[in-house]
């Protein structure tokens, strides 16, 4: 019997109306931040919510509920990376969740769509080594990024 990895997804509140289409597509296809799970690995989403708006008040509480539901990993959605400006609290969220809840935190869910990648490249949003490390799991091939433009 395969072990099921249980995950929670936290999205940026500016996308609070998002139904998760790209995230769920990426999970199914194991694209973007979900590449870390093998295609044959069972994954179950046990929580999906927003950060609660700047500066992320829901970050203090949502992971606790997700952990009660069995979450082992929290994905901070790609919207935190591609919004303008990219979330200035992202590193704090990761550090807090890992320290308080002892859960692994992954930056990103679906691949960064090409339309966002090209704009942020022009703007220099992700030029630092730190940001390159943050976006690395959400980068993919140009074709995959184009596939997530929809």
Could you give the C-alpha distances from 35 to 75, 96, 120, 148, in angstroms and in order? Answer: 12, 24, 22, 15
Binning pLDDT at 50, 70 and 90, where does residue 3 land? Answer: confident
The 42-50 sheet, strands edge to edge: 42-50, 4-11, 73-76, 104-107
What integer is the mean pLDDT of 31-39? 94
Could you give the C-alpha distances from 34 to 41, 73, 111, in angstroms and in order? Answer: 11, 11, 9
pLDDT in tens, 57-102: 999 999 999 999 999 999 999 999 999 999 999 999 999 999 999 9
Binning pLDDT at 50, 70 and 90, where does residue 1 land? Answer: low
CATH architecture, domain defined by 4-147: 3-Layer(aba) Sandwich (3.40)
Show me where the domains of the chain are located. Answer: 4-147
Say what the pTM is. 0.95
Please state, in angstroms and rounded to a whole number, the distance separating the CA atoms of residues 23 and 110.
5
């Amino acid at each position: 019997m395969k072990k099921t990895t249980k995950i929670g997804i936290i999205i940026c509140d500016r996308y609070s109306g998002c139904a998760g289409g790209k995230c769920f597509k990426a999970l199914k296809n194991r694209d973007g931040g979900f590449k870390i799970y093998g295609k044959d690995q069972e994954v179950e989403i046990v929580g999906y919510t927003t950060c609660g708006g700047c500066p992320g008040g829901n970050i203090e509480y949502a992971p606790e509920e997700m952990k009660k539901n069995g979450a082992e990993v929290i994905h901070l959605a790609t919207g935190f990376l591609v919004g303008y400006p990219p979330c200035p609290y992202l590193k704090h969220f990761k550090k807090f969740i890992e320290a308080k809840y002892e859960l692994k935190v992954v930056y990103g869910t679906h691949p960064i769509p090409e339309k966002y990648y090209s704009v942020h490249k022009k703007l220099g949003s992700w030029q630092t080594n730190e940001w390159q490390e943050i976006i690395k799991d959400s980068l993919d091939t140009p074709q995959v990024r184009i596939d997530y433009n929809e």
